[in-house]
Structure 1
Amino acid sequence: MTLGALEGAVKSGRISRERIDDSVRRLLEMKARVGLHKNRRVNLDHIGTVVASGDHLALADSAATRSVTLPRDRDGLIPADPRDYPRVLHVVYARDEDLTAGRALGASLGVYFRSLTTRRMSPDSPGAAYEELAWLRGEADLLLVSAFVPPRAGAGDVMVPEAFARFVEESSAGKSTVVVSLGNPYLLTAFPGVGTYLLAWGPHEVSQAAAARALVGVSAISGTLPVSLPPLHQRNEGLTRDRVPDVPRLGSMSEQELEIGLFRRGPGDRPAGPGGAEGQDPTISPLEVDPVEVGFDPKGLEALDSIIMAAIADSASPGAALAVGRRGKLVRLRGYGRLDWSPDAPRATPSSLWDMASVTKVSATTVAAMILAEAGHLNLDEKVVAYLPWWSAGDPEKEDVLVRHLLLHRAGLPPFRRFFLEMEGKEAYKDAIGALPLDYTPGGATVYSDIGLMTLAFIIEELTGADLDSFLRRRVWGPLGMQDTGFLPDPGLLPRIAPTEVDTTYRFTHVHGSVHDENAHAIGGIAGHAGLFSSARDMSVLAQVLLDGGSIPPCANVVDGGVPCSVARPGPVRIAAPTSVELFTRRHDSTSSRALGWDTPSEGSSSGEYFSDRAFGHTGFTGTSIWVDPELDLFVVLLTSRTNPTRSNSKHVPLRRAVHDAVAQAITDRPVQRRRR
């Protein structure tokens, strides 16, 4: 859309070719100055040190604050003194799939206004919804309309329903009304009679919070229009407002609850999650034991509830599930919040099912490879083509790739390809991967690749004569009693499954009960890199098996039993030898944090700063993670659906680190030190 508009502007003469050339040249020069022409690849292991870092969030907050623009305020409503408006009606206009639109703005306003009533409207809202708004408007002292209308390719092109535009125009004629546009400056042309119009330039949380601060005077307003809004306002116009000292905070939410660093808060600060007070308390498994029994400070672990509920309140995920075990006993097996953002969505529980995303790589594919390697059926130092002769069709150099390279992400393969746009079915994927050339020499650089684990699953299926799901059900999940774990969940399980993303590019639906990863979906739902569904209680069983070197004792699944247990196990179960677990989970060498399939702690790791160098784990794109630390005799499983409703959400990154740090720091029976950098 953007490229099309740019091309049209050049063809029409509105933008000269010289200006395009000059802009491109400046961009290339900037890239050259920071060395991007030499280092074009992103080290995925360091994402945690960059994404959502404190410095970057502070910079984003400052930029959002300075950009807020007030083109008009004929009614003199800005800054709005909370004491003058006891009852505020906040109307959020957004598409139905924009589930978090207005959430941060409403939460920020809740600090200052005594009574804030919020209603959502969309392009498809019925007439009855407008009738309710009209009644609520009559009861309110101030009407705030926040509109999340994305800019379109043609400047000035604003699409809002006539009914909504009429409601806003009528309101401004007889009620104190402020319209805040979060993204599209031209929105004013849809209701030109509005007297007070504020621009925040984007739908993101920092922009919503900046708009709220500007509206009540906590922040000064100094922005100017970078474009004209013909015939209403010209470029560079913009009213200024000074900062108001000591703005009264009359609302029920504290300002501390809105800090970007929500995850630093301690016990006692527990905002209500989705569904209000009912969704606030976690769902606790009766398997939990007294933390003191296994060397934990109970008060230290209490912080976990606050950390996770604060993250839910901050829209990191509608819900979460957590399992924490030490010395063979569970001290946390809980669900938090709900499976979706709706207040009547099912509550998250320890048995709720989550799309494990890339945790599939370790809890399914790597475990299967470990079992086959121990049995002598899979040779890690054998060439891939010895098992899959077709695999090197597109590049003779692929004949040098070893099975070990696939597990270490050193096969020379690209991170991924958007195959799903062109094909579906396992055979089509085999042909495409076979024809794919390498990006670099095998055994050289470490580049995290979905395609390597997809290939490994093909090898496993070739060796076992069964698909990955069937093999693991027979050899691992069945014997361990992991009844919640598997690919392609039955539709009857939908009420227990957390939805993931509102897909606007491939399936055009809110993905629920089928794998989120597009390639895993297109290949048929069973893949080596993604597709597994599981629960916190099941993953606690697998984590304990790995912590105990490949085996687990029997369990009765009784109250206060403590041993990770989904269904009763009458006897001990062994899936691998301790030497095999050690081989696969220990860091391979000093050039990378990778083990065989697994990752190990590094700077900025999702494991936080206190897990030992001997720890191993993995994360999933949907917001899942598992970390096991043999030195601390500890595991943590944290499952969220951070992609609901959009993948443009990185709040799970600090959440993971905060949870793992809180768990490690609660250990009392041995020293736990910050990992050396």
Structure 2
Amino acid sequence: MKTLTPDQRVAQLFMVAAYSNRKRIDEDSISTLIQQYGIGGLIFFQGGPVRQSKLLNRYQSQSKVPLLVAMDGEWGAGMRLDSVVKFPFQMSMGGIRQNQLLYDMGQEVAAQFKRLGMHVNFAPVVDVNNNAANPVIGFRSWGEQRENVTEKSYLYMRGMQDAGVLAVAKHFPGHGDTDTDSHLALPLVRVDRRRLDTLELFPFRDLMRRGLGGIMIAHLNVPALDSTGMPSTLSKPIITGMVKQQMGFQGVIFTDAMNMKGVISKYPPGEADLRALLAGNDILEFSKNIPLALQMVRAAINAGQLRQEDIDARCRKVLALKQWAGLNKYRPIELRNLYPDLNSVHAQALSQKLSSLSVTVLRNQKNVLPLQRLDTLRLATLTIGTKDTTDFQRLAADYAPADHYWLSATATLDELTQMRNQLARYNMVLVGVNNLGRQPATSFGVTPETNLLLRELTSARQRVVVSVFGNAYAVAKIRDLDRADAVLLAYQESKNAQETTAQVIFGGIGATGQLPVTVTDKYSQGFGLNTTGGQRLRYGFPEDVGMNNNLEARVDSIVAQALAARAMPGCEVLIARQGTVVLRKSYGTHSFADTPAQAGKPSRPVRNTDLYDLASLTKVSAAVPALLKLQEQGQFSPDKTLGDYFPELKGTNKQDLKLRDVLAHQARLKAWIPFWQGYTRPKGFFAGLFSGFSKPDPNKKPAPDAQLSRRFFRPDSSARFPLQVATKLWGRQDLPAQLVRQIGESPLNEKPGYVYSDLSFYLYPLLVKRITGLPFDQFLQQQVYRPLGATTLGFNPTRRFPRRRIAPTEYDSLFRRQQLHGTVHDEGAALLGGLSSHAGLFGNANDLAKLVQTYAWQGKYGGQQLLKPEILADYTRCQFCDQGNRRGLGFDRPATPPAGNTAPDASASSFGHSGFTGTFFWVDPEQELVYVFLSNRVNPTRRNNKIGELNVRTDILQVALESIRRAQKQQVETTVEE
């Protein structure tokens, strides 16, 4: 204080607007104000975090006294800066019931500010918004109920100030009941003093009493407080008489931006600044003309109009604020790790959680939400107002197959008619109303065309669910919502708002939000219907379910090492706990760039929607659920024999093998048979001629130049050769019967005991067809996959999906002599046309996780009991532990002692399976953990077993289990400290 001249003390009361997305000349002009006039602070607006930090380091280095730095961060620094996590709008959170989370948000916003070298947040907005026509507050307010506004504002304020960032409540004395934007003109507040005391001033008083550090004065004409018509920012009766003397506020008083027309339309820059200081403000924000303002203030002091002592007292307050903010120990902003620090996993999780709690269900006829029986739905999504696939549509497609449609908000009548006709073939349409506006004057972006289409859709036979991704008041502008089967309000169009809305619709989470404002007579403040969650997978973060937030970083490290070692070209990892997917991430590419198949072409990056050859996961993802369903229907029992179900095996050494032994891999069956080798012939005309009369012998190794016999394979399909073995390679129709015969003729192992065998799993599709009359794949689709919404699970994927979505496997140089891409890798399954229950299933991680989660939830998913829990429990338990066999029925289980087939810390009750192509899933019921790993490690060759040597799959599972333990330990330590 002693080092500052009187003029410099005046300059400490000015905050200048700064941007990090403007030209050098604009930046230099700020430097001039700092160096020449010694201004006290900056308020940053648009830009980016790194650019702003570099700029602020420059500005701070030029300032004699460290600059006080502020921002309008009502929903965090992301309100102004790109690349920073954004929290929901205040009105989005106005209806949540878990208010304590707003304290956590305040802490996180403060952490963002401090990391960016900022000290003051012009938030929270404590205006009580009780005017739907308000053009400037609206969605920025918590709502229309004063106690709700007050409590939420207090917790947000307290969180920031406890973390060392000053909270500034705005806009005093209350901007909620205006119909004019103070950026454009001076609004008139037409209420009496009693109303002000009981409503508008209520939150300010309460927060002042509980430690509020700052308030912002709005540009308002409030006759009840100042009859002269003076803007409240310049009103001495309001600021000095009311705020300081009557209300006793001793914190820092900021003006609203001094460039707004609400003030400068009547008083030009310079004069407006002087009047603001005369009225009693401490800090002037966004002054338009600093040299002129300082000149006029000095003249006023010299004329005795303004006392230097008053200036000094305010300057001392500003310096005290700077010391409180730590500027007496100023350090430049560290640029390293800036983005990760600003976007911590905790901040992202908190933002998503607040969004999920805000979603408000306004209508739910016949409890249509959450959606049931996905297998009965012909589902379409329609987005009104955008041309591209939305986050809502993408996540809806993660739950169930859906066709997506888009329509302009100002579509022509012909376009509306065409869209109505296109949607007529669906029995469920999910409509998202997007790209809405914020202004009442434009009906919040709701167009007549939107209303016309919704009327047409809700008048049709199909069920319609409408989600409003915009201002709460927009609901009043959308007609015929009472015709919709369900209506959801998400308040905004953020990624979180759209994704959590989809999760509510499908039952991943339940809706608990309430309206913070009255939008119609029917939908008043506090209204909101609850729905059920936890019925299907939810998508969240580790901390949501008691896991450590460094989970992703640790998984990234394991996968990075595996990719560097070329253990596989790419992979996908999915980890879920308590039904919440906490990690779903793809790594690498479909192929190594230097393989002959790529020929220098760039390989496609792996995406979460890609399909993999699941290899032996087919056993527990196709055979086991099929047998479970048959057993539930009383048509199968593991306590019968192979001969009971397969007449072909009667009279063979297989007929008396008990299926419980068979499924537990201890029935003395051979591990495998290289069937394909018996269908080759030596090269040459005469060898080929005579080989046609010989019986296939799979145990006879073919010559290196052997060719596939034309008796059994052709390059084109036909009625006689209908089995697709590979691209342009088709097998004879009797190949399946020949394989069954060869299985029956194969010898048994000499010694009893555990030997993992594929052979019985060749047979179960035949059993399903005989019992149900349906092909194996159709039976699974009807009974299991469609009810789950897991429709990427299936066989022969190129018949349903483009090849680019399928990860290629091996270059088969011996049998099929081609790159395998979309046809099954396993030779035996290929001879069956890709349809087997030992291998042949394809799918993506998300859909496989639905089935695996069903196992974890004792056979229940989507509100349906798909598998009988007691039968499932029998299959997943250890069958012959006393004989040294760890296996369940089909399922693998932890070896004792650990033998590398799963993570060392996996519980004794856990189960799963691995696949030859580099796939794996595991369920740990004790930790409520589900883990799926998909890769194509056999690309380009099966000889690459680094994925096993490095323990990639099981190490990731171990990391997931350790994440739970670490979080539990951290929770105990936190509890002890508290």
Tell me the TM-score normalized by structure 1: 0.52
* Equivalent position SS for 2:655: helix
Distance 2:871 2:604 in 1: 40
How far 1:630 moved relative to its partner? 0.6
What is the distance in 1 between the residues matched to 2:541 and 2:673?
48
2 CA distance for matches of 1:387 and 1:299? 51
Among 369, 377, 380, the residue aligned to 2:638:
380
Contact 1:353 1:534 in 2 (8 A): yes
Identify the residue that residue 74 of structure 1 maps to in structure 2.
none
**Aligned residue in 2 for 1:336:** 587
> Which of 633, 656, 660 is 2:953 aligned to?
656
2 CA distance for matches of 1:612 and 1:471? Answer: 33
CA distance in 2: counterparts of 1:661 and 1:458, whole angstroms: 38
**What is the Cα deviation at residue 460 of structure 1?**
2.6
Distance in 2 separating the partners of 1:643 and 1:314? 14
Residue 505 of structure 1 and its aligned partner are, at CA, apart by 0.7
Match of 1:298 among 522, 526, 549: 549
Q: For 1:60-91, what per-residue CA distance to the aligned partner results, in whole angstroms no more than 9, with x for missing partners? A: xxxxxxxxxxxxxxxxxxxxxxxxxxxxxxxx
Q: Which amino acid aligns with 1:305?
A: D
Out of 601, 607, 619, the residue aligned to residue 902 of structure 2 is: 607
1:455 maps to 2:752: no
Change in Cα spacing, 1:671 to 1:368, as seen in structure 2 (3 Å) is farther
- Where 1:366 maps in the other structure, the secondary structure is helix
Q: What's the counterpart of residue 487 of structure 1?
A: 795
Amino acid paired to 1:540: A
Percent identity, aligned pairs only?
33
- For 1:278-317, what aligned pairs fall within 5 Å after superposition? 288-317=539-568
Query: Partner of 2:911 in structure 1?
Result: 616
* Aligned amino acid, residue 879 of structure 2: H
Confirm or deny that 1:467 pairs with 2:775: yes
For residue 525 of structure 1, the aligned residue among 818, 823, 834 is 834
Secondary structure, aligned partner of 1:422 = helix
Alignment match of 1:641 (pick from 926, 936, 960): 936
Paired with 1:400 and 1:576, the residues of 2 have a C-alpha distance of: 28
Q: Which residue of 2 aligns with 1:318?
A: 569
- SS of the residue 1:400 aligns to: coil
Deviation at 1:428, TM superposition (A): 1.6
Find the aligned partners of 2:546 and 2:901 in 1 and give their Cα distance. Answer: 23
The gaps in structure 2 that reach 5 residues or longer are 1-344, 346-393, 399-498, 500-537, 594-600, 680-730, 971-978
Counterpart of 1:306 in structure 2: which amino acid?
S
Q: CA separation in 1, counterparts of 2:565 and 2:963?
A: 24
- What does the per-residue CA deviation read over 1:127-162, in whole Å, with 9 as the maximum and x for residues that have no partner? xxxxxxxxxxxxxxxxxxxxxxxxxxxxxxxxxxxx
Q: Is the 8 A contact 2:654 2:744 kept in 1?
A: no
1:39-438 to 2 correspondences below 5 Å: 288-342=539-593, 344-393=602-651, 395=652, 397-423=653-679, 425-438=735-748
The 8 Å contact of residues 301 and 663 in structure 1, kept in 2 or not, is answered as: no
Distance 1:446 1:311 in 2: 31
User: Which residue is 2:438 aligned to?
Assistant: none
Aligned partner of 1:546 in structure 2 is 855
CA distance in structure 2 between the aligned counterparts of 1:355 and 1:317, rounded to whole angstroms: 14
Q: Deviations over 1:28-75 (max 9, x none)?
A: xxxxxxxxxxxxxxxxxxxxxxxxxxxxxxxxxxxxxxxxxxxxxxxx
Match for residue 439 of structure 2?
none
- Out of 851, 869, 876, the residue aligned to residue 585 of structure 1 is 876
Aligned mates of 1:387, 1:462 — CA distance in 2: 9
CA distance in 1, matches of 2:758, 2:539: 36
Cα 1:623–1:498 change in 2 (3 A) is same
Letter of the structure 2 residue corresponding to residue 619 of structure 1: S
Counterpart amino acid of 1:310?
Q
CA RMSD between the two structures: 2.2
- TM-score computed with the length of structure 2 as normaliser: 0.37
How far, CA to CA, are the matches of 2:650 and 2:914 in structure 1? 30
- Segments of 5+ residues of structure 1 without an aligned counterpart are 1-266, 268-282, 554-571, 673-677
Instruction: Specify the SS of the correspondent of 1:516.
Output: coil
Which residue, out of 597, 600, 604, partners 2:890? 597
What letter corresponds to residue 315 of structure 1 in structure 2? R
Q: Deviations over 1:193-225 (max 9, x none)?
A: xxxxxxxxxxxxxxxxxxxxxxxxxxxxxxxxx
SS of equivalent residue, structure 2 residue 587: strand
Amino acid at match of 1:439: N
Residue 299 (structure 1) shift: 1.2
Query: For 1:410, what is the secondary structure of its paired residue?
Result: coil
What is the Cα deviation at residue 624 of structure 1?
0.3
Q: CA deviation at 1:455?
A: 2.4
Are 1:503 and 2:812 an aligned pair? yes
Seen in structure 2, the aligned counterparts of structure 1 residues 501 and 573 have a Cα distance that, compared at 3 Å, is same
Q: Is the 8 A contact 1:351 1:484 kept in 2?
A: no
Separation in structure 2 between the aligned mates of residue 671 and residue 501 of structure 1, nearest angstrom: 44
- Counterpart CA distance in 1 for 2:890 and 2:578 is 25
Structure 2 CA distance, aligned partners of 1:399 and 1:518? 26
Count of residues paired in the alignment = 369
User: 1:439 — aligned with what?
Assistant: 749
Partner AA of 1:650 in structure 2:
N
Write the distance in 2 (CA, Å) between the matches of 1:523 and 1:486. Answer: 15
SS of residue in 2 equivalent to 1:404? helix
Alignment-mate amino acid for residue 954 of structure 2: R
Q: Which amino acid letter does the alignment assign opposite residue 889 of structure 2?
A: L
CA distance in structure 1 between the partners assigned to 2:566 and 2:905 by the alignment: 26
Other structure's SS at 2:847 match: helix
Tell me: CA distance 1:671–1:357, structure 2 relative to 1, closer, same or farther (3 Å). Answer: farther
After alignment, is 508-517 or 370-379 more displaced?
Answer: 370-379
Q: Secondary structure at the match of 2:616?
A: helix
Give me the whole-angstrom Cα distance separating, in 1, the residues matched to 2:634 and 2:911: 24
For 1:665, which of 962, 969, 974 is the aligned residue? Answer: 962
More displaced 10-residue stretch of structure 1: 284-293 or 651-660: 284-293
Shift of 1:472: 0.2
More relative contact order, 1 or 2 (CA 8 Å, 6+ apart):
1
Equivalent in the alignment of 1:280:
none
Paired with 1:456 and 1:502, the residues of 2 have a C-alpha distance of 29
Aligned to 1:225: none
- Taking the aligned partners of 2:870 and 2:736, their CA distance within structure 1 comes to 34
Asked if the contact 2:541/2:583 (under 8 Å) is kept, the reply is: no
CA displacement at 1:638 relative to structure 2: 0.3
Q: Secondary structure at the match of 1:666?
A: helix
CA distance in structure 1 between the partners assigned to 2:878 and 2:938 by the alignment: 30
1:631 to 926, 937, 954: 926
Instruction: Report how far residue 671 of structure 1 moved.
Output: 7.5
Match of 2:590, SS state, is coil
Whichever residue aligns with residue 489 of structure 1, its letter is P
CA deviation profile, 1:461-486 (whole Å, cap 9, x unmatched): 32222222111001000111111110
Aligned residues of 1:469 and 1:526 also touching (Cα < 8 A): yes
Q: Separation in 1 of the partners of 2:868 and 2:760?
A: 25
Which residue identity does 2:874 align to in structure 1?
Answer: L
CA offsets 1:148-205 (integer angstroms, 9 cap, x no match) = xxxxxxxxxxxxxxxxxxxxxxxxxxxxxxxxxxxxxxxxxxxxxxxxxxxxxxxxxx
Task: State the SS of the aligned residue for 2:809.
Answer: coil
How far residue 300 of structure 1 moved from its aligned partner, in angstroms, is 3.4
Pair 1:411–1:671, CA change in 2 (3 A): farther
User: Using the alignment, how far apart are the partners of 2:969 and 2:848 within structure 1?
Assistant: 27
Q: Does the 8 Å contact 2:616/2:916 carry over to 1?
A: yes
Offset, 1:657: 1.9
